Every structure is written in structure tokens, then in C-alpha cells.
Amino acid sequence: MSGHSEFQPTSAPAKWLERRLPILSLLHGAAVAFPTPKNLNYWWTFGGILMFCLGVQILTGIILAMHFTPHVDMAFSSVEHIMRDVNYGWLIRYIHSNGASMFFIAVYIHMFRGLYYGSYKEPRELIWILGVVIYLLMMAAAFFGYVIVWGQMSFWGATVITNLFGAIPVVGDGLLSLLWGGFSVDNPTLNRFFSLHYLVPFLIAGLVILHIWALHVPGNNNPLGIDVKGPQDTVTFHPYYTVKDTFAVVMFMLFFAFFVFYMPNALGDPDNYIEANRLSTPAHIVPEWYLLPYYAILRSIPDKLFGVGAMGLAIVTLFLIPWLDTSRVRSARFRPLYKQFFWLFVIDAVVLGYIGAKPPEGMYLIIGRLATAYYFFHFYIILPVLGLVETPKPLPESISKSVLDKSAAGKPA
Amino acid sequence: MTNKLQIILGGVFLAAAAIALPLDAAHASEGGELKHVNWSFNGPFGTFDRAQLKRGFQVYREVCSACHSVKFMSYRNLSEAGGPEYTDAETKTIAATNKVMDGPDRDGEMFERPAEPKDRIVKPFPNDNAARAANNGALPPDLSLMTKARHDGPNYVYSILTGYADAPEGVVMADGMNYNHYFPGQQIAMPPPLSDDQVTYEDGAPATLDQMAQDVSAFLTWTAEPKLEDRHKLGLKVVLFLIVFAGLLFASYKRIWKDQH
Ligand code: HEM
């Protein structure tokens, strides 16, 4: 992270601190002087947006936890207490519950950005891998959070998802009683899920630091996917990208605000406004939208063990992408074939999400199976083969040359 | 360059709409297609109609409360801003018509006293078993969150209340069940609760079935979302602020990047 900073503290306290703990120059190097490609587009603002999301979840979560009671008899009504009696409790809770969805919208855009521009390729493999770990932890955090509200979908979602772990051979049963803290989803489950729900976001925060540290070694990729050749290709992070990222965050806040203020329950399931009841099973048990593609993969396979296996493999596959993609060219801009397969994959992911919300029968089951097969086909066949057979377009000489050409073309001479 | 800003702003609005609209449309329940009421609380500027909430509360009190609780509501909520806004005195009187158990007193005895504004609205039955026993085995659910616990809740409750009919030819009804067009499976244990002139409205409005169904559905929307008006009002301020803030940031962005383009 260091090495980019000529930072010299001027004030006496700053000098005092710097001699003992050079944290000011570290931050200066990472967030002020850091040389950043000058051609980043708006898809690159989602990293900053994600940091904003994490901050919002932690802040609102800490306040919610002050008023929330993790007990099967009181969890649901303590959430209603937050909604009705805590000052601005409704606002805090709607920000937190919609914030989870916003977080996932941002992370999916961020990940697809990486797929499109080949940001996972050498030398950025580890950045990608840390990202996938963060994504996994996000799913865990969101799942735990959804369960602790103790609505019908919390309880039955928890029952279905924890039972999946029971399908794992040998360790399944042990794992299950560890998750449950008993013989079914019950008070001990709620207690440990609350504890984990509080813990995981801080693990995420730690991983985000590693993610950015790893990013600051090679620096950002960029829409052209070519390396930075020298200072003429970059600008300092501040003020150029601080202002652009802040603008993007505020636009994102607008989008976020629409949900919080005008359709706060549109992304949630109405069944979760019914208190958990182990004697009445909801007609359709579905996870929140951001987990639906995996749910579709799980249910497309009739055997429980193999279904869980396929779902696990779908996630593990993400870790392998840097090595499954054999092309040396990063950006899809210069990969005419990959560009088309990229969009096919986006469609496939959306189809899987749609199928995940539908009952696994008739046409839905057939489409779900085809989409599942295509998911794996994309990563294990198309990605490796394309790199070998595709002829990429010629790459531009440098970032600065391409930027100059573009502005020359855009303006009348 | 403001063009670009407009495009981005437009994109954000469109994206929000694109996600929300199909979600709303996808809410077809297993019952029939719901009837739609043009509620006063719809839309970003929607507010509750106080007179309607009062009428709705009257219907709840005189009819539904025989079977259904609204356990998340207290009497004091009736006089709070954004609700029916009864006066404090009216609320006291309303509360006092009910009895609650209190105690133990100094002798260790439990005693009954008239309810006060701080008390929860009194439930019709002490527990679920008592409720079932009185209702042919069926449990009348708590109604506080009903309009959020069903897709398109306000229209759903309205449709249920006005959706009773004679069972069509050939449909075999289970014992004690009633045909309702909008209930999943069309057989509901609740007998038709409302009929014309069931209540005599304090404000003199004609108590048609349709009017009472609308009023009580609006009331139940308030019990589910008592902060709806606050939310709409604050939302407007927040959105306006963010739009101005985004404009300023975009101008700064253009200025800072001028030497780079
Ligand atoms: C990665 C960050 C986080 C994610 C993705 C997340 C996600 C969620 C979700 C989906 C819910 C259910 C919302 C609902 O339906 O009401 C929830 C609830 C909750 N979360 Fe989080 N959360 C995060 C961080 C935190 C943190 C850091 C805390 C505490 C310090 C926290 C405390 C709570 C509490 C108390 C609830 C239950 C109250 C409620 O329903 O609003 N969360 N969370």
C-alpha cells in the first residue's frame, strides 16, 4: 500500500504520530496519492459503493442490536417494537433490510464488471479470490440476519438451508447439531445465528482491507485491460476518483432511498411478517432474491446430496475462474467472441434467479436444468476453449494514447 | 454535460422502477385477481384519511374485535400523529371501555381495572386454543400486520371482505367453511363478517359493505405501518436533498476532470 506517498506531516501532532506509527502516510499513499488509471468508467465506482454499503449495514446493525431481543418468544415482537416505538426505528430497520439487497445489487455489478474486463487475471488473481470469500461471507451474514427476525420465512428458510448441510456425508449430522444447537431450528439456533450475524460483517471488513491491500500492489485494472505504462496514464486517486466515487455513491443513495421510503417491502417476502410457527409450513419456501440462482441449481438436481454438491461446485467454480480463462487479453472490448458469451452468461444467471423463485415442476424444472448445465458449460468449456481459439482485436498502445484519440474524435478539430 | 447527469439520474429512476414494477405485478395470489381501490395512502405523497381511519377503527371495534386481536397496537397509538388522531380524552374513554388484568397488588391478588392508553388493545381471547374453540377449530389470525403479511395487502383484505358468494355449482364445501372468491383455495373459515348497515358510523357516513370494507382495510394498513406518513414525508426531503447534492458533486467532478479530457 505504501511507496506512492511523498507525504510529509507538517503539524507537530502529525509529526509525533508519524514517527511512532506511520499511519498517516499509509493512508495518504492509499487514498490520496495513489496513481489510478485515468480511463476508469462508472463500473469502477462500485468498489466504493460496496464500502459504503458495508458501513451502512454495520452502523444500522449496531443500533438495531441495541433494541433487538434474540429469543424465540421475543425476536419477532422486538422487531415490531423497533418499527413502532424506537425513534426512527422504522428508518433504521428499513435501511438495514433494504441495505442487504442494495449490497448484493452492488456486489453482483462489481463481480460482473470483473468478469467483463478480465480483472481476475494475472497479476490480480488473489484480489478476485479475496472477493469471492467476501461474497461468501456476505451470503452468510444475510442469511443469519434474515433468520433472526424469526418470521415464517426466517424459520422455514433456516430449516431448509441448515438441512442441506445435513446431506453432507460423514460430517453432516454433526454439522447439523452444531448449527442448530439442538435437534431442530430453535432458540439456541436463533442465539448463535445472532452472534454470528454480529460477527461476520467485521470479518468482511477485515477481508476488505486485504482485498484493497492486494489491489494496491498491481494497481487497478481498467476498461482497456492493458497495463499502466507510466505517469501519463494515471491520475492521483484524490481528487479525481474521490469526487467521482462520491458522486456515484450519492446516485446509489438515491436508488437506495426509493426503496427505503417508497417501497420498503417490495424486495421482501410477505410471509416474513407472520411470526415463525413450526406447525404451519408456508406454501412456497423461497430464499431472498440474491440467493435464488443457487437455489435453482440445488433444486434442478433430484438427488439431495448431488444437488448440494452442484450448488457447492457452482460457488467453488468462482474461485477457479482465473485459471479457467486461458485468454491473455483481459478486456472483453478486444475479445469479440467472449463479449457475446459474457452476455449469454448474464442472461443465464438471471434465468437461474427467475427459476429459483418458481416451484420446481414442469417447464420451470426443464429450464432450470438447462440453465444449470449452461452455468457449468460456460466456465468449464467455453472459458478455457475461447482463450485458445479466439483472435483478439489489436490492443491500443497505451491508456493515455487511447484517451487522447477518444477525446480528439469526440471534439470537432 | 448536464445531459450526462440527466441520463444517469434517469437511469437510476428507471432501474428502481424496472425492479419494483414486475415485483408488484408478480404478486398474483392463489385466490382470484384482486380488486383494486384507489387508496389515499398510495404513491409517494400518500397520507391516511383520518375520518376513514376512525371509521375503520369503529368497524374493527364493533365487528372484527370479537374474533381478531391487533396485538402490536396500544390505545395510545390511536391519538398519535399519522393515525386516526383521536384526542387524548377520546382515547382514554375508548380504552376505559375495556378491562385488563393487573397486579399483583399489595395483598398479592390480581385485580381487574379499566384499560388505560398505555395498555395494549385488549385481545378477544386469552390464548390461541380459546380462539380456536370459539371458532370451530379455526384460528382468527392477529390483524396488526395483516396488510404487510399478504401480497398487495390492503387490496387483499378489501377483496376478502367483499368477496363472499354462494359456492358455485359442483363445489363441495367443507364443514363450517364459506366460499370466498379471493381466499387461496376459496374456502375460508371466517363467516362473512360484514353486511350493509352493520355499524352506524359516528360521522354519519353510509355504512355500505363496500365502505366498511375499505375503511377497515385502511385502518389495518395503518396498524401494519403506523409510520407511513413520516416515511413519505422524510423520503421527499431526502430525495430532494440527494438530487441537489448529486448535482453539486457532478459539477465538481466535471471541473476537477477538465484538464484531463
Ligand atoms: C454484511 C453486512 C450485513 C448484512 C448483509 C446484513 C443483513 C441483514 C438482513 C438481510 C437482515 C433481515 C432484515 C429484515 O428482514 O428485517 C438483518 C437483520 C438484522 N441485522 Fe444485519 N446485516 C449486516 C450487518 C449487521 C451488523 C454489523 C449488525 C449488528 C452489529 C446487524 C444487526 C442486525 C439485527 C439486530 C437484525 C434484526 C433486526 C431487523 O430485522 O432489522 N447486521 N441483517
Domain limit, last residue, from A250, A282, A314: A282
> ipTM greater than 0.90, yes or no?
yes
Topology annotation, domain B3-71+141-257: Cytochrome Bc1 Complex; Chain D, domain 2 (1.10.760)
Query: B55: Cβ–Cβ under 8 A, 6 or more apart, which residues?
Result: B201, B202, B203, B205, B211, B212, B215, B219
Q: How many domains does chain A have?
A: 2
Same domain, A57 and A151: yes
Residue of the nearest CA to atom 30 in ligand 1?
A: A62
pLDDT of A180 higher than 80? yes
More confident residue, A412 or B104: B104
Q: What distance in Å separates the CA atoms of residue A274 and residue B224, rounded to the nearest whole number?
A: 12
Residues A199 and A122 grouped into a single domain: yes
Q: How confident is the model at residue A406 (pLDDT cuts 50, 70, 90)?
A: confident
Domain identity same for A160 and A232: yes
pLDDT of residue A410: 57
How sure is the predictor about B22, in pLDDT bands with cuts at 50, 70 and 90? very low
Bridge partner residues of B187 (DSSP):
B179
A70: which 3 cell numbers? 434474540
Domain closes at, from A282, A299, A334 = A282
Chain A residues 171-230 with a CB less than 8 Å from chain B: none
Pair (A266, A378) in one structural domain: no
Higher pLDDT, A397 or B26: A397
Rounded CA separation A289/B165 (Å):
37
Residues touching ligand 1 (Cβ under 6 Å) are A 54, 57-58, 61-62, 64-65, 68, 79, 93, 96-97, 100, 103, 138, 141-142, 145-146, 148-149, 197-198, 201, 204, 268, 272
Q: What domain range includes position A309?
A: 286-398
Of all residues in chain B, what percent carry a pLDDT higher than 90?
86
Instruction: Assess B12–A contact: CB distance below 8 Å, yes or no.
Output: yes
- Per-residue model confidence as pLDDT tens digits over A265-313: 999 999 999 999 999 999 999 999 999 999 999 999 999 999 999 999 9
Instruction: Answer whether residue A58 is part of any domain.
Output: yes
Say how far apart CA A73 and CA A163 lie, in whole Å.
23
The angle at the Cα of A18, spanning A16 to A21, to the nearest 5 degrees, equals: 110
- Among the partner-chain residues B77, B148, B260, the one whose CB lies closest to the CB of A265 is B148
User: What gap in Å lies between CA B32 and CA A63, rounded to an integer?
Assistant: 42
Same domain, A267 and A355: no
The answer, for B241 touching chain A at a CB cutoff of 8 Å, is no
A4 is a domain residue: no
Among the ranges given (A3-17, A92-106, A303-317, A386-400), the one the predictor scored with the smallest mean pLDDT: A3-17
From the number of C-beta atoms within 10 Å of its C-beta (0-12, 13-18, 19+), residue A354 rates as middle
Q: Bigger pLDDT: B240 or B260?
A: B240
How sure is the predictor about A264, in pLDDT bands with cuts at 50, 70 and 90? very high
Cell 443465464 appears where? A348
Q: Is B253 on the interface with A (CB under 8 A)?
A: yes
Mean pLDDT taken over chain A? 95
Are A345 and A238 found together in one domain? no
The per-residue pLDDT for range B58-111, each reduced to its tens digit, is 999 999 999 999 999 999 999 999 999 999 999 999 999 999 999 999 999 999
Q: Which residue of B has its CA nearest to A357?
A: B26
> Which residue of chain B is at minimal alpha-carbon distance from A86?
B227
CA distances from B24 to A268, B203, B251 (A): 11, 35, 36
Question: Closest partner residue to A239 among B184, B230, B256, by Cβ?
Answer: B256
Which residues 6+ apart lie within 8 Å of B18 measured at CB?
A: none
- Of A46-60, A215-229, B24-38, B104-118, give the lowest mean pLDDT range: B24-38
Residues A152 and A175 in one domain: yes
Name the least confident of A18-22, B23-27, B233-237: B23-27
d(C-alpha B117, C-alpha B120), whole Å:
8
Residue B18: per-residue pLDDT:
57
Reply yes or no on whether the pLDDT at B6 is more than 70. no
Q: Is A271 on the interface with B (CB under 8 A)?
A: yes
Domain ranges of chain B: 3-71+141-257
Q: What is the pLDDT confidence band of residue A404, given thresholds at 50, 70 and 90?
A: confident
Residue B186 near residue B171, CB atoms below 8 Å: yes
Counting atoms of ligand 1 from 1, which one is nearest the CA of A202? 27
Of the residues A282, A308, A337, the one at which a domain ends: A282
First-to-last alpha carbon distance for chain B, in angstroms, is 13
Let me know if residue A22 belongs to a domain. Answer: no
Cα–Cα nearest to A307, from A349, A360, A351, A358: A360
Please, which pLDDT band fits residue A413 given cuts at 50, 70 and 90?
Answer: very low
What is the per-residue pLDDT for B19?
Answer: 58
Segment A368-379, tens digit of pLDDT: 999 999 999 999
CA distance B218 to B202: 17
B10 or A298, greater pLDDT: A298
Q: Grid cell 381471547 — which residue?
A: B125
The answer to whether A207 and A130 have CB atoms below 8 angstroms apart is yes
| Residues of chain B neighbouring A292 (CB-CB closer than 8 A) | none
Tell me whether residue A188 is in a domain. Answer: yes
A302 and A352 co-located in one domain: yes
pLDDT tens-digit readout, A117-152: 999 999 999 999 999 999 999 999 999 999 999 999
DSSP string, B164-214: B-PPPTTPPPPTT-EEBTTSTTSEESS-----TTSS--TT-----HHHHHH
Q: Which residues pair with A35 in a beta bridge?
A: A236
Closest CA to B142 of A283, A158, A69, A77: A77
The dihedrals phi and psi of A276, each to the nearest 5 degrees, come to: -55, 140
A299 and A262 in a single domain? The answer is: no
Tell me: pLDDT of A339 over 70. Answer: yes
Confidence at A317, pLDDT banded by 50, 70, 90: very high
Q: Looking at the structure, do residues A315 and A190 belong to the same domain, yes or no?
A: no
Angle at B186 between CA B184 and CA B187, to 5 degrees: 105
Please state the rounded mean pLDDT for residues A154-177.
95
Q: Does A165 score more than 80 pLDDT?
A: yes
Same structural domain, A76 and A205: yes
The overall longest dimension of chain B from CA atoms, in Å, is 85
Give the pLDDT confidence of A207-257 residue by residue, as tens digits: 999 999 999 999 999 999 999 999 999 999 999 999 999 999 999 999 999
Closest Cβ opposite residue A261 in set B9, B148, B232: B232
Nearest to A84 among B151, B226, B232 (CB): B226
Do A194 and A237 sit in the same domain of this protein? yes
Is the pLDDT at B13 greater than 70, yes or no? no
CATH number at residue A358: 1.10.287.980
* Residue A14 lies inside a defined structural domain of this protein: no
Contact map slice: A 8-47 vs B, CB within 8 A: 38, 42
Q: What is the pLDDT of residue B171?
A: 92
| Residue B21 grid coordinates | 414494477
pLDDT band at B32 (very low <50, low <70, confident <90, very high): confident
User: What CATH number does the domain containing A260 carry?
Assistant: 1.20.810.10
Orientation of helix A89-117 relative to helix B228-257, angle to 10°: 40
Contact B239 A257 (CB under 8 A): yes
pLDDT tens-digit profile of B114-164? 999 999 999 999 999 999 999 989 999 999 999 999 999 999 999 999 999
- Residue A267: its chain B contacts at CB < 8 A? 19, 23
Q: Looking at the domain assignment, is residue A222 inside a domain? A: yes
**pLDDT at A182 exceeding the cut of 70:** yes
pTM (2 decimals)? Answer: 0.93
Is residue A228 in some structural domain?
yes
CA distance B152 to chain A (A): 9
On chain A, the residues whose CB falls within 8 A of the CB of B253 are 243-244, 247
For residue A12, give the C-alpha cell: 507537530
Q: Which residue's CA lies nearest to atom 23 of ligand 1?
A: A57
Does residue B221 have a pLDDT over 50? yes
The whole-number pLDDT of residue A99 equals 98
Q: Is residue A168 part of a domain?
A: yes
Hey, CA dihedral for A266, A267, A268, A269, is it positive or negative?
A: positive
Using a CB–CB cutoff of 8 Å, tell me whether A244 touches chain B: yes
